[in-house]
Amino acid sequence: MKISILKNELNEAIQHVSKAISSRTTIPILTGIKLEVTHQGVTLTASDTDISIQSFIPAENDSEVVVHIDQPGSVVLPAKFFVEIIKKLPSKEIMMEVKDGFQTFISSGSAEIQMVGLDPEEFPVLPDIEGNETITIQGDLLKNMIRQTAFSISTQETTPILTGILWHLENGEFKFTATDRHRLATRAANLDGTEEIRFSNIVIAGKTLNELSKIIPDQNMLVDIVVADNQVLFKLDRVLFYTRILDGIYPDTSRIIPSTYKTELIVDTKKLSEAIDRAYLLSREEKTNIVRLQTLEQGGIEISSSSTELGKVREELEVIDFKGEPLRISFNSKYMLDVLKVIDSEQLLIAFTGMMSPIILQPQDDSRSKYVILPYRTTN
């Protein structure tokens, strides 16, 4: 293998695949990035067995030569050192040559680097799952669906299935669900052309989907998703992102969400968020995060929190609309703020069926998102 390649392009591809490198792996070959050179370009691959990422650098881009290929070939290079040294090379062009025993010579400007490479034959082969069912989604929509649900996953490894986001596709509706048993986030969207496809109990680690989000470019482009038996493949422009499906059955969450409400409020998202944030500051010092919401006789609501050591925070807030019974309820303000942060709508519905029943939050301009928070059972 012998090439010269533009630093920026190589660097960008490295940044993409390096998200799949685990620093804790015990398998030496997986501490490396695999480079494969053909006459079409360079393919980089990294894997931690749960996630595998592949990024392709074409030899030419808009008729500019990106990679000059003297000799195809392949090698596996130590990821951590490779990632950092490439970023810091002095010239915009980099020469790479693999010699006997995978010794790799890299030069750029006055810098000369010799790297101990590994045999690419030892690197795991990625699964071929192209033949499976494929759906297509806008990159922005996928990123939003992840952002608006991933915060509700469980971080406890004792229930691994809850560290994932549940995917359900039926009658053209694609739905994400995440819960840690104290709160629940759901977000659905219609996907054109998927009316004939159905899948359920596809659960993908929330952490993995957050990593994927970082790779999806900001320009709104299409992402193809291939769903196989135990793997999902995301196909972006020049990046392939493989991840495994979590084992186990996701719990049925449909009965958690109440279907009728006793109290319904429409409020300004930003104003509610800021008032709860102030009460949260006090509740955090008490290490309980308990904040109280109560409807007022003269209209409006009161947000409050108190601490025997520090004092009290209290605030009245107008409501845009009020339906139903008066109410007083306590909840984890951190959970509430997490929801308010991902609601992009200016107004939201907050609904209750009683002081011991789940609190529902829903953006006013999007009935396909629904958030549930369990209240605290307090004595006053």
Binding positions for a second copy, rule: CB under 8 A: 78, 80-81, 84-85, 88-90, 103-104, 110-116, 274-275, 277-278, 281-282, 285, 309-317
CA distance 267 to 348: 6
**Measured from the CB of residue 111, what is the shortest distance to a second copy in angstroms?**
5
**Measured from the CB of residue 94, what is the shortest distance to a second copy in angstroms?**
13
Is the Cβ of residue 23 or residue 260 nearer to a second copy in the bound state? 23
Is the Cβ of residue 142 or residue 275 nearer to a second copy in the bound state? 275
**Measured from the CB of residue 331, what is the shortest distance to a second copy in angstroms?**
19
Is the Cβ of residue 96 or residue 226 nearer to a second copy in the bound state? 96
CA distance 176 to 185: 8
**Measured from the CB of residue 306, what is the shortest distance to a second copy in angstroms?**
8
**Measured from the CB of residue 52, what is the shortest distance to a second copy in angstroms?**
24
Is the Cβ of residue 89 or residue 329 nearer to a second copy in the bound state? 89
Is the Cβ of residue 50 or residue 302 nearer to a second copy in the bound state? 302
**Measured from the CB of residue 275, what is the shortest distance to a second copy in angstroms?**
7
Is the Cβ of residue 221 or residue 281 nearer to a second copy in the bound state? 281
